Structure formats: structure tokens, C-alpha cells
Structure 1
Amino acid sequence: MACIVVLLVTSAMLGTAGRSSGADTSWTVMVYMANDSTSPLPSGDNINAMEAAQQAPGTSILVLLDEPGEGNSRILDVQHDPNPDQMTIVSTTVDDNDEVIGPSGEVNTGDATTLANFIKFSTSHWPADRYVLILWGHGAGWDGLCLDGIDMLTLVELKEGLSDARSTLGRSLDMIAVDACVEATFETLYQVRACADYFVAAQTNIPYQGFPYYQILTALEEAPNQEPAAFGGVIVDEYIAWSAVNSQNSATLAVFDLAEIASVINALIKLSEQGLRYDSIFHSSIHTAMASAECYDAEWTFDIGDFLVRLSGSDVPLEMKALATDVFVAYSKMVTRFDKFDHPDPLDGINVTGATGAIIYAPSTSLFDTRYLDLDLSTTNWDEFGKSARLVAQTNESEVGPVIYYGDSDSDGKMDLAALAWSNPYPNVTAWVFRDSPHGMTYVKTYESDASSITISGIAGDLIVSASASVNGSAVSYSELSITLHGASTIEVQLLLDGTSVSEGYDVRVVSTNLTDYAEAVSGKFYARLAVPTQVAVGQLVQIEVLNEAGVIVSTSHAFVPDDHATVDIEILHEEIQQQTDFYVLLLFSILPGLFVLAFSIMMYVDFKKKQRAA
């Protein structure tokens, strides 16, 4: 009976905290405070800061605290301390019934089971709408975090513990924030991708004082209904603001949307594939881009964004530049919030001028780096690309590229195909086709052949071809070729009057610089067939004008010249509406000068009053 009473009392005690009593979103914040190391951090100061902050109804903060020594591990249910000047911890120690700590009174924070048990214990006894896990302690990048003596939570163990907890909880955590150094790594992000929706971490060192918990938790108390991504942004803002005033070093912090990482990794795989293929004849450029990318903690651990920018601006094949841009775009979507403080005179000498949010490691062939193969990221080809690129190796000369032969397939006197022929019998040849458009260079198509020849057709415009030949998967020849192929682009126009298709009594013309081309009416629609590139360029913006029988423009629209065919629906305005519109346009232009004069007069008056007050 005594056991039953104890269990009931404990259950009641555990169940009183963390339950939403109103309409506000409830939060359970779990702080995994790994401080049992030879270099302990100010855990007491951080807990005091948590206690100083008010908590909204339905918000619970649980701390698994493991200090140096044996038998002193405990779980705290953080309580508000109305006297922030006193340094005594006032929070309640929770009896966990050996669910987390066990009878020895000691946990190993470097063990996946400890992490899993803490999350399962907290979420089962303090259920909430939102779950946030803060990993607190020392960080070692892709090697791991949360030291306990000589042990540490490797990224493999981190995933194991989080996955175990996720399985019990039935869903991922809303957010994981890491109050530890250099954990905003691609290796960490990819490892925990299925265990949380958002991830907050720094690609640089975190100062000794850690996160500004009072400011962060106060912001949560003031707005408990904010989304996890927004709360992550608050952590970033408060941390960088605090660092700008208090830190002797530079600081970075970012929020990552882990739902986007699959797109980033897929793009990185494609880039790595081409990087490995071209390494033999472009090794120097690839190596230099990687070696010069901004580093913060360890050699060859560099900012991924800075590397991509340097690579896309270096002397590498066009497809590598395009793929580097694709990775950067996908990566930018994953980073929902990023800020940095670039210290003008950092104590550690590290600046973050080129920082973009996350770092990545290019592993070596050393025995130490064989552990990298345990990580999920090593299942991609990034590790092989990294190993190849970081080596100091010779760059081979490119062999002779292809000869171009033009052809006219429809006998209209305009060249509409180009045949690339290599003199050597290569087992694989490739041509990446890009178009020089008004919006810059855009990728069009890739051709591949095992016959030492490729024919490019069905693509019109001023083209740039990235042509290469490979042997055993390694490029031995590369050429960048400029060609012009002729063709046509069709814009199909459907006119609508009150939602009904019309064509009788109207003309349609396409207008652009040095172009006025009337569309042909066929079966109730209008077709403008434009010559590319003599009349227009693909991607060029053109104006489409609709004229009535009197030759008056009754409606206009705009369209980009398509690769092949595009359809545009244009609504024709009734005459009275058109006249009304014209009247208001004329009225606007007639009173616009007067509005500018009035605004200027008000501005001068306000300035005069300010000077009067100053005097």
C-alpha cells in the first residue's frame, strides 16, 4: 500500500506542471545539461537566468543537470525566482522513480539511452503542444557533443537517442537548440533530420556564458502562441544582440528547417558527382575554392555557403557552377533565420565575414577520419568529393575537345542543329547546354553519348555548351563552346470577354524592342510565331496588345518568350470601363505634381519645426 501511495503522490506531483490551463499554446522545454567534464561551464548561472524569467501558463522547463562528480545528477522543474539577485537555485528537484537517473544517482550524458529516457520522461509527465530540446555543454562538431568525463554523445548516438524518443512520442520534436560550440554542421543536420522540425545551432564557438536564457524565455512567456520557427528566430536575435554587447569574439546562430535538408543533400550529391568527375583536370580550382572557404574551428571545416560562392566564381565547368548555385539556393531555403556578429577585434582572431549559417567537413584519408563513415552524410558521395578536393595533387591538362558541324534540318537556310564530334574514341561524352538569356545564363538540357559524338537540336538561341569526355568516370577533356541555333517560339493568345472566348473584330500583336509582330487568327485563337534569336530571345519579356477594329488598344498583357510554346489568356475590358480607367489615369497624372509639391512642403515644415525646437 505504501508503494501505491508513493506512486500516486509522485504521479500527482509530476502531473501538476506543464499542462495548458487556457487557450495559449503549451510548451515543454527540456534542457539536457551535460556539465560533468574537466572544463565545467556555468550551469548555475544559466539555471538562475531561467528562474529569473516568468513562465506563461502551460510552459514547463525541465533540466537534467549532471555536474562534475558522482551521484549528483538530478532533474529540476524550473520555478520562477522573484529575487533574481540571489544565486541560490530555487527550482524543485523531481523524483523520477529511476526512469532517467537510476538508483546510483548518476547519469552518463554521453549515452544515447540517457537522452532518450530524459525526453520520454519529460514528454510523458509534462505533455504539451510544443516540445523543445536544448542540448547544453561542450560541442565538437561532427565528432559529437555533451561530454561526460571522457565520453561524449557521438552524432550516431544522438540520432539513436532521438529516434528512440521519437518512436515513443509518436512524432518529432518541434525544435532542437544546441547551446554548444560548432554544432551547426551539415553532418549534424542530416543526422537528426527525422527527429525534429527545426534545428538551432552555431557554426562557431558559443561563449562561456552560453545562451541568454532570461531574454529567450521571457520572449516565450510574452508570446506563447508563436510558431517554433519564430521562437527559433527569437533565440537567434537575443543571442546575437547579447553577443554584440558582451562577447569578446564573433558569433553566429541560425535556424534550420529540417524538412528542406533532403533538397539540399540531393543538390549536393549532384555537385559532388561532377566534382569527382572533373577533379583530374580542374583539381587546382576546386581545391583552392575549398581551401580558401571561411573556417572557424578546425581546418577543412568550412562555411558551406562561402565555399559554394567561391566555387561558382572559380574556373570550373559551367555545370559545376550551375550545380553549386542550385545547392546554395536549396540551402538558403533551409536557413529560415540567420544572424551574426562580426567582432572588429576578436580575442580568438576569428571573423565571420563570409558566414552563412552552417559548416561542413571535408574528411581526409587518415585513420582518425574513418569514423566519418559512420555518419549518415557519408552515405552520399560528399565524403569522396571532400577527400579528393582537399588533397594536394596535380591538375592534368585537358585533351582536345570536339569539332562543331552545323546543319539545317528543315532546309529554310537557317542552322538549327549542331553536331559535336570528338577525334578520339571516348567511352563517354557529355554536353550540358545553357542559354544566354536576358535573365542570365540558364540551364537547358544535358546530352550524353558513348559514340564520341552528340547532336544538339530542338533548342534555339545563343547557346553555351559545356562539352566533356570521360574515361573510367574521370573527365579528360573539357571545352566551352558558343553556338547559335535558329528556331521559333509560339505564344498562343485566347481573348475573353466576360469569360467567353472571342476573336472576331480584334487583332493581337506582340511588341518588344525592334519588334511588332501581328498574331495569326486560327480557329478562334491567335498565334504569334516569333523567330529565335533573330526577333526575340527565349526568356525575353514582350508586351501583347489587343486592338479593336478601329485599331485602338483595348487590353494589354505581358509574357516571357517560351522555349517552345506558351498560352496567354487576356480579358478584354468593356469600352465604358476602359474609358473610366483612362479617366482615372489622366486624373492621377494631373494631380501627381500637386501631391509632390504638397509632400515637399510638409517635409520642409517638419524640418523647420525640428530646427525651432533644437534652437
Structure 2
Amino acid sequence: MWRVLKPILIVVALTAVSLSQGFFASGLPRMTEAFSSDDANLFLMIYMSADTTGSPLDWTGDLNEMENGLINNNITVLALVDPEGIGDSRVYLVRRDISGSEQIISTKLENPPFLPSDNEANMGDPDTLSGFVRYSLANYYNGGTIGLVIWGHGAGWAGVAIDKSDYLTRAELATALEEIDNTISRPIDLIIFDACSMGSIEFLSGLSGLVSLAVASEMEIPASGFPYDTILRRISLNLPMPPSEIAFSFADEYVKLSALITESSAQASVIDLSALPEAQERIASLSRTCILFDPLLRDLFNDTRDLSAAIQATGSIDVIDYLSRLCEHDDVPRKLLRPAIAAKEALSLSVLRNRVFVSASDLSIIRPESLSGLTIYYPDVPVSLTAYRETSSLAELWGEFLKRVMSAHPGAPPVTGLSLLTRDLRFDDGLNDSFEFEWEETPEVVSWEFEFCLSGSIDPALERSANDTDMQILVDALEAGFYDVFAYGLDGNGEYVFFEGFLGQAVSRFIDITARVPTTIDIRDTQLRITNLGSGEVTYVSVSQYDIPLSFAVPTPNAIGDIILVELCRNDTVLARGVLILDTGTFEMRLFSEPTVSPISLFVLTMILAFLSAFSVLHFLRIRHERKSRSGR
């Protein structure tokens, strides 16, 4: 009975926790890679760096968990362990422990050739990692998914697997993985970071092409680390499974443990590293644009950072949350909004699964939906950026932006006296159909750029430019509609020193239409009922002739593309009707007579139908009677 009830109770408990506190899950549905013969096997290499003075990391506990979780012979686990101390580095071939004891029963391998003679490995040396992986693959790999777990202390973009004062930087890890790639002639399938704050876009983007998938957390990971017993049991019971499902198992079981047992906040995501080069290029483009808008929008940039989910230990913020909040500002320049949306979309596509649990005590600090799976460096106080900018090309560009926004603010933007005026210059119909900008000559502004975007759109329908000495620009080439208008003032370096947005500006005009009524209809005592099928607005027009002129104001109360129903009515009886779609031109429409049937004709038609129905029933009964007579039943 307990075996039946246990999984049900776990699901109920997890659901209750997620509703009452802060469990959040997002990502793609179950992936559908085709299985290969290798999907029945998993080969895991655990790189355990515990040689840090006073480290609370429990490598023996995690090794015990691996022994307890191995219930399938198709999983092979090797662990390189460097405990605190000198001359005690070792490699284990993990064995299944059916007794569940706390003793390590795994086989300690003798004299691995990659270890130095004093048996003291430097886990911050990429040669140690590549040597361990090459040794493991050459001697114990029999096919299957290849996974590498980097276990130890993490420092986000700076590095991972801290050994005393050394650690693996992004470049060093990439070098080791490249050697592994050359050895096995393909990237390894997944890398799992059982280390704090390794969901860094700066760090992970450097691994593209060398690993397919990564499992990492934006947050700190407790000393107990990942629950290897439940992870390996889940994988054992579900083999064969593609690498993505194995990666999902690590993320799911870690956050589930936090929600059900430890009740400490946790987050883990699965990242498609093949998608990060595109995301990296989008962030680089955004960085260049942000630089052009500093210091003009410096307060906006920093205020948005202050609202975003922050990882205090590494000075980072959730990058997708930051971009989402930046894009929510209605008056953000479209020149900035476009690259921000593009970067957000590319980053979101790289996160295949995101698991979050925020404990009740932390809900006042952070919301689960604000942790999206990836971080970027954005400290809230000025710091030296030299080491950061040397880590990657992405960090170089983003670091230049950070250097600017963290410097002293130079003051307010220049005063230009810019004004936007609307004019009736095109159709002479009393409606404003053109824009006119006027400004004062301003020494700081060398040239102007103007964008006209249909409201709700981020792409410009029209762009114009002018020199500051022009003092005026007239725009009379826009179709009718509502526009968000943006003016940008540039200095001699091509950087924006002035910006102002004018939202919801109308370019209006009358559209003239001729409605033609069939001459066979008596138009006495009739009127036209005009219904906008989009807004539901109804107006009436009196009828005195067969060609009836109509005029529609666009965009208010109509808009280009609205569907208009025109009906000729007498005492609410529709005599003729037609449908038109508002266009920008002047045209005519024809109303078509409604089919009518006289009462006498309707009565005759009803009687005929009734007769045919009765005849059909009688004919059916007669045929049935004849069949019964022939069969004798």
C-alpha cells in the first residue's frame, strides 16, 4: 500500500508547496530527439574540487548518494576527488551500494597516469580536467551519453572549481573541452555545474560548440549540492533517454528536493549552448546601442537594474528579467527597444527548462517568475572592470557599457525647445495629416533623427533626418493612423544626447465613398445604417438619391482596414446591404437588394414541403410492409 501511496503523496505535497510558496517552472515541453543505440547508456564523470580551507562541501555524502542511486548497470560513474589537504587526490569507479551504508564502497583506482606523483591534483588547472576525462573515456567508456559534472565552488563569470586560490576560468574550461572534443571527435553531451551562480551568460557562451547542453543555477547552491541518489534513480528507471531528458532530471530533482525537504530557495535551468552564439551577438548589438544612449538614459538603465532579480554574491542580475522590465517602459526609444527585444527573445530560446522554488521567507526579496535562467554582470556599485572585460568579447562590450553607467552622471540633457505640431497640409479637409517639428539651435546637438512608428509597432513606418541648423522639418508622407513619434538629437560622435517621444499622434483624413442603391428599390422613407463591425459604432445617414456620398474620418472613429456594414433600411427592414473595408483611396460601393418572399409564396412553399415530407414517410412505410410480407415475419 505504501508503494502505491508514496508517489501520490509526493505529487500532492509538491503541488501544495508550489501553490503556497513560490515554485515556478518554465521551458519547452518534453523534447522529441530520436533515440539512438547510445541512449541506453550514460557515462558520467564527476570533477570534485573540495580542496578549499574550511569548505563546507560534503564530497563523501555526494559520493554515497551516487552509490545509492546506481540501480542500473547501464550507468557508469567515475569521480576525481581532491579533498582538503595535501597528497590525497584520487579517482573512484563508483559502485552500487545495496546496503545504503555511509561507508564509501566504490573502487579507488590505482595510479591514474594524469595525477602527479605526489597525488595532489590542481583542480584549477585545465590539464587536470582534460587528463581526467581522457583517462576515463579511454578506459571505461562503452558508448552512450557523455556527461561531465563540475562540482565545487562557483564564482559566476569569474570561474569554477576553486582549488585553494586557483580555479577554472571560462577560457581554461573551454581549452580542456576542446582537447576532449579532439579526442572523441565530437562535443560531450552535457555539462552539469554543481556549483554556485554558474548560470552566467558570459561564462556559458564560451562553451558553445564544445558541449551541447548545460545545467546551471543562477543562485547559490547549498553545501549538500545536487541529490545524486534521486537523480540517478530517475535516470536508471527511464533509460533509454536522450541527453535533454537526463539534463532535465538534474534540474528537476534538485529543485524538487529544495521544495519538499530543505525548504531553501533554489533554481536550476537547462541551457541549449548551441543557441548562445545568436544570443551573444544580440547582447553585443544591445550593448553598442546602450552605449550610444548613455548618459542620456543612464538613470533608466540603473533604475531598471535595481528592480531586476539580483544575485548579490556575484554582482549579477537575471538578464531576461532585466530586458523584460526595460521593454515595459512605454517611452523607451524604439532604437533601443528593438535590440532589447531581439536579445530577450534569443536568450529565452536558449533556456530549454527553468525550475525555480522560492521559499516563503524569501518571497519578499525575490519573485520566482523573475528568475529566468541566465545572469549577466551588473553590479550596483562602481567596481574595477578590468578582469571582467578580459574574459570574453561579450564581456568587453558589455563592460564598456557598465563602465559608462557606473561613472559620475554628467548632468541633464541639453534644452532644445523641441516642439511637435500637427498640420492640415495634404487634403485640406480640416483634419491634421502632417507633422512639423521645430527646435532651437543647440550647440550640443549636431544632427537629428526622427522615427514614426505605428502605435504598437517597434519598426518605423518612416524615418527622417535633419541637421541641427535646419531648425524645422516637415513630414507629410504618412498614411492615416496613430503614430508614436520619436526625436533623437546626436552629438558630433554620433551618440544620443537628446531624446523625446510623442505617443499616440494621429495622422487623420476623410475617406470619401459613394454608396449606389439599386434603382429597382423605392428609396422613399429610407435611411442608411452604417455599422463599424470592429468597434460596433452605428451611425445613420438620410437618403434622398440613389448615389449617396459618405465620408469616414480616419483614424477616429475608424481605422484603415476596418470592416463597415452599410444597410438601406425602411422601418428597421433591410432592403439592401453591402460591406466595405476602409482603404486610403476614394471609391464607390454597390448595395445589393435583400431577397424577399411574399406571404402567399411563403405559404405555398410551406405546403409543398409538408406534402413532400408526408409522401416520403408513407412511401417508406409501404416499402417496409412489403418486405415483411415477403419474409413472413
The residue correspondences of 1:390-409 to structure 2 (distance < 5 A) are 390-400=406-416, 401=418, 403-404=420-421
Farther off after superposition, 55-64 or 203-212: 55-64
Structure 2 residue aligned with 1:162 = 177
Is 1:444 aligned with 2:460? yes
Letter in 1 for 2:454: R
SS in 2 for 1:338: strand
The structure-2 alpha-carbon separation of the partners of 1:369 and 1:278, relative to structure 1 and needing over 3 Å to count, comes to closer
| Alignment root-mean-square deviation, CA | 4.0
Letter in 1 for 2:81: L
Which of 481, 485, 508 in structure 2 is aligned with 1:465? 485
Structure 1 residue aligned with 2:240 = 225
The residue correspondences of 1:332-347 to structure 2 (distance < 5 A) are 332-345=348-361
Structure 1 residue aligned with 2:452 = 433
- Quote how far apart the aligned CAs of 1:346 are: 5.6
The residue correspondences of 1:477-516 to structure 2 (distance < 5 A) are 477-481=498-502, 482-485=504-507, 512-513=534-535
- Quote how far apart the aligned CAs of 1:469 are: 0.8
- Whether contact under 8 Å (1:70, 1:106) holds in the other structure is yes
Is 1:141 aligned with 2:156? yes
- Whether contact under 8 Å (1:461, 1:487) holds in the other structure is no
Structure 2 residue aligned with 1:196 = 211
The structure-2 alpha-carbon separation of the partners of 1:303 and 1:22, relative to structure 1 and needing over 3 Å to count, comes to closer
> Distance in 2 between the 1:387 and 1:260 partners?
28
- Quote how far apart the aligned CAs of 1:57 are: 4.3
Note the residue ranges of structure 1 that are not aligned, 5 or more in a row: 1-19, 490-509, 517-529, 545-550, 554-558, 565-615
SS in 2 for 1:345: helix
> Distance in 1 between the 2:537 and 2:397 partners?
49
SS in 2 for 1:158: helix
The structure-2 alpha-carbon separation of the partners of 1:487 and 1:382, relative to structure 1 and needing over 3 Å to count, comes to farther
The structure-2 alpha-carbon separation of the partners of 1:33 and 1:512, relative to structure 1 and needing over 3 Å to count, comes to same
> Distance in 1 between the 2:562 and 2:172 partners?
54
Structure 2 residue aligned with 1:601 = none
- Quote how far apart the aligned CAs of 1:317 are: 2.6
Which of 333, 341, 344 in structure 2 is aligned with 1:318? 333
Structure 2 residue aligned with 1:103 = 117
Structure 2 residue aligned with 1:424 = 441
- Quote how far apart the aligned CAs of 1:409 are: 6.7
The structure-2 alpha-carbon separation of the partners of 1:53 and 1:531, relative to structure 1 and needing over 3 Å to count, comes to farther
Letter in 2 for 1:355: L
The structure-2 alpha-carbon separation of the partners of 1:307 and 1:21, relative to structure 1 and needing over 3 Å to count, comes to closer
- Whether contact under 8 Å (2:434, 2:474) holds in the other structure is no
Structure 1 residue aligned with 2:60 = 44
In the TM superposition, what whole-angstrom CA distance separates every residue of 1:208-229 from its partner, at most 9, and x where no partner exists? 1000001111111112232222
- Quote how far apart the aligned CAs of 1:121 are: 2.8
Residue-pair matches, total: 495
- Quote how far apart the aligned CAs of 1:470 are: 1.1
Structure 2 residue aligned with 1:119 = 133
Is 1:294 aligned with 2:302? no
The residue correspondences of 1:595-610 to structure 2 (distance < 5 A) are none
- Quote how far apart the aligned CAs of 1:207 are: 0.6
Q: TM-score, normalised by structure 1?
A: 0.70
The residue correspondences of 1:30-69 to structure 2 (distance < 5 A) are 30-40=45-55, 41-69=57-85
Letter in 1 for 2:441: N
SS in 2 for 1:447: strand
The residue correspondences of 1:195-594 to structure 2 (distance < 5 A) are 195-247=210-262, 249-298=264-313, 300-314=315-329, 317-319=332-334, 320-345=336-361, 351=366, 353=368, 354-362=370-378, 368-378=384-394, 381-400=397-416, 401=418, 403-404=420-421, 418=435, 420=437, 422-424=439-441, 426-436=445-455, 440-445=456-461, 447=463, 449=465, 451-452=467-468, 455=475, 457=477, 460-471=480-491, 472-481=493-502, 482-485=504-507, 512-513=534-535, 533=555, 537=559
Q: Higher relative CO (CA 8 A, sep ≥ 6), structure 1 or 2?
A: 2
Structure 1 residue aligned with 2:514 = none
> Distance in 1 between the 2:397 and 2:232 partners?
41
The structure-2 alpha-carbon separation of the partners of 1:465 and 1:81, relative to structure 1 and needing over 3 Å to count, comes to same
Letter in 1 for 2:274: A
- Quote how far apart the aligned CAs of 1:392 are: 4.9
- Quote how far apart the aligned CAs of 1:374 are: 1.7
- Quote how far apart the aligned CAs of 1:206 are: 0.5
SS in 2 for 1:281: coil
Letter in 2 for 1:147: I
Letter in 2 for 1:427: V
**Structure whose alpha-carbon radius of gyration is higher:** 2
- Whether contact under 8 Å (1:184, 1:202) holds in the other structure is yes
- Whether contact under 8 Å (2:354, 2:373) holds in the other structure is yes
> Distance in 2 between the 1:234 and 1:154 partners?
27
SS in 2 for 1:255: strand
The structure-2 alpha-carbon separation of the partners of 1:315 and 1:535, relative to structure 1 and needing over 3 Å to count, comes to closer
> Distance in 2 between the 1:392 and 1:300 partners?
19
The residue correspondences of 1:175-186 to structure 2 (distance < 5 A) are 175-186=190-201
- Quote how far apart the aligned CAs of 1:72 are: 2.3
Letter in 2 for 1:476: V
Letter in 2 for 1:274: T
The structure-2 alpha-carbon separation of the partners of 1:364 and 1:535, relative to structure 1 and needing over 3 Å to count, comes to closer
- Quote how far apart the aligned CAs of 1:531 are: 9.8
- Quote how far apart the aligned CAs of 1:255 are: 1.2
> Distance in 2 between the 1:433 and 1:26 partners?
58
- Whether contact under 8 Å (1:430, 1:467) holds in the other structure is yes
The structure-2 alpha-carbon separation of the partners of 1:445 and 1:109, relative to structure 1 and needing over 3 Å to count, comes to farther
The structure-2 alpha-carbon separation of the partners of 1:366 and 1:318, relative to structure 1 and needing over 3 Å to count, comes to closer
Letter in 2 for 1:110: G
The structure-2 alpha-carbon separation of the partners of 1:294 and 1:513, relative to structure 1 and needing over 3 Å to count, comes to closer
